[in-house]
Chain A
């Protein structure tokens, strides 16, 4: 990754009159941490980084901006927002365009081809946590950890995030500026987690998910971090009708998790953020990837690739499968 090129492009973009700010990643406060940064002028671009630690999907911020009613006579700020995206994040942008959550003229996409990011928890587990400033870089086929002047080579498979092992779109599918050359696609690993569960019988799966959903504390982190969960009026917050009670028990937790997974069926772009932020370590990725696989194999649809596509659940084909109908 060419940081120089990134910062040069970013400086050019934020200098434009029609750009409000640029959303990117910067070094976090300590250790492996990486934080989002909103760059408003050319002075801020020096902070920008792109490294294997940039796991977060920044697309979320596009829809998080609160749009308060304007005083009479005042005009809305119509300036664009620039956004740094990896391959998976770019699919979220496309999906938002499909759903008209954002409009193409509102965003400038700065695409960063991504050879795969690291799973921070694996990194901490294998190489220990630290409060010293460290750097993680891509190094040929693997990663390089620079800590206190010492360079540690890490094999790729050791700390690669799970979503990246399964990744099919490492290059941004949409971009206005592409930073560096496109990376070579790797053959995605077989999704063993889903297949393993699929092989179990119904009761075995129920048992598995019972244990998982019982852990849920209903913090709704998964919803809040999800780039595609941006309904202004979410059924989880709505009291009348109360579809899902606020009580934290197995019944409500299961209803919540099923409805969220269903809401994302045909929309989830598999960025893995929900799983990453879950404080209870529920393997939410499995359930979302299963639905994505189902949609892909049964309906021949993949979300987040074509901005002109019809939303999956708001369209149909006359020859959709109906073998389940009595």
Chain B
């Protein structure tokens, strides 16, 4: 690992809370690491585990999924499904030997710009510790 290694993180943010939260962080000029690539989805419950795997295969070193706090989902219960499914995915990946530091999930509401910053910092720091995830890449891809 070279000294100037910067991890690539893919973040799936729900449209109603986390995406707005990240937007708020931006408009409030909160500084956070730029390693993150945001993909907006309508709900965290819409995140297919295959998305996570595909991101890792295509060059991501870490994946973050973020949605509304339980009970606040725009679609009433989408994030509850996400919590159950992605919680299991995390356990499964851990069992297969994927560093648990590479996959995170968080609840960030539209008003939590500062929490978003903390979440990104933690995700990037963890991915940096875990190092480049070369074993699982489909091919060498420059981002």
A interface residues, Cβ below 8 angstroms from B: 197-198, 202-210, 235, 243, 245, 250-252, 254-255, 257-259, 261-262, 265-266, 287, 290-291, 294-295, 298-299, 312-316, 318, 320-322, 324-326
Q: Which of B77, B87, B97, B105 contacts A209 (CB 8 A)?
A: B97
Tell me if B95 and A290 are in contact (CB < 8 A). yes
12 A-B residue contacts at CB 8 Å?
A206-B98, A207-B97, A243-B50, A250-B135, A252-B138, A258-B92, A258-B93, A265-B92, A295-B88, A320-B80, A321-B87, A326-B104
Give Cα A295–Cα B92 distance, bound, in whole angstroms: 11
Contact of A326 among B53, B89, B105, B138 (CB under 8 A): B105
* Cα distance, A198 to B138, chains bound together (Å): 27
A-side contacts of B87, CB under 8 Å: 298, 320-322, 324
Contacts of A261 in B (CB 8 A): 92, 96
Contact between chains at B49 and A205 (CB < 8 Å) = no
B99: CB under 8 A from chain A? yes
Query: A13 CA to B33 CA in the complex, in Å?
Result: 69
Q: CA–CA, A294 to B88, complex, Å?
A: 8
Number of interface residues of B (CB under 8 A): 38
Bound together, the chains give a CA A300 to CA B94 distance in angstroms of 20
Nearest-CB distance from A292 to chain B (Å)? 11
Main secondary structure of the interface of A (DSSP, over half): helix
8 further A-B contacts with Cβ under 8 Å, apart from A197-B95, A252-B138, are A202-B100, A205-B94, A258-B92, A265-B92, A294-B88, A318-B71, A325-B107, A326-B123
A291 and B88 contact, CB distance less than 8 A:
yes
**Contacting pair B88 A326 (CB below 8 A):** no
A326 & B122 in contact (Cβ 8 Å cutoff): yes
Are A243's CB and B49's CB within 8 A? no
Evaluate contact between B84 and A320: CB separation under 8 angstroms: yes
Q: A262-B89, A322-B83 are in contact. Are A206 and B106 (CB under 8 A)?
A: no
The 10 closest A-B pairs by CB, nearest first: A206-B97, A205-B97, A316-B80, A326-B106, A243-B50, A316-B84, A251-B138, A209-B96, A294-B91, A265-B88
A27 vs B141: C-alpha distance in the bound complex, in angstroms?
A: 54
Which of chain A's residues have a CB closer than 8 A to the CB of B99? 202
Taking a contact as CB atoms under 8 Å apart, the answer to whether B97 and A208 are in contact is yes
Which residues of B in the span 24-70 have a Cβ within 8 Å of any Cβ on A?
Answer: 49-50, 53-54, 57, 70
Residue B74 lies at the interface, judged by CB distance under 8 Å to chain A: no
